[in-house]
Amino acid sequence: MTEKTKRLFLKVKDKFTEQIKSPHVQLALAVGTSILAMAIASKRLLPEPIGYLYLAFPPFLGTIYETVYSKHPDSKLCTPWYWILAIVLATALVIALHMF
């Protein structure tokens, strides 16, 4: 690897780590993973597909977070990990409720 390639790689790596620290990106990744998990569970695990209203619940939590964050960015309530955990739990709850 040449010196120029190494510098370019380090620059891209620094930019990526800077972007991944953003609470908006973290929440978007959690919501995207949630949607994929529910789609896979709906297609492969569950006896019947999950309805549209239930599929929209975890992303709705993400929308609520973005609204609260825009109004109160320094609030303890706006800690991204609280909301990411809520999205993961809501996803698990939607899948679990459709299993029975």
Domain coordinates of the chain in residue numbers? 22-99
Calculate the alpha carbon distances from 1 to 7, 36, 42, 49, 80 in Å. 10, 37, 45, 50, 38
Of the chain, the percentage scoring pLDDT greater than 70 comes to: 99
Higher pLDDT, 45 or 89: 89
What mean pLDDT do residues 8-18 have? 84
CA distance 46 to 63: 27
pTM: 0.82
pLDDT value of position 9: 83
pLDDT value of position 10: 83
Helices in 21-56 by DSSP H: which ranges? 23-40, 52-55
The pLDDT of residue 72 is above 80: yes
Whether 49 contacts 42, CB under 8 Å: yes
Give me 60's structure tokens. Answer: 């709705």
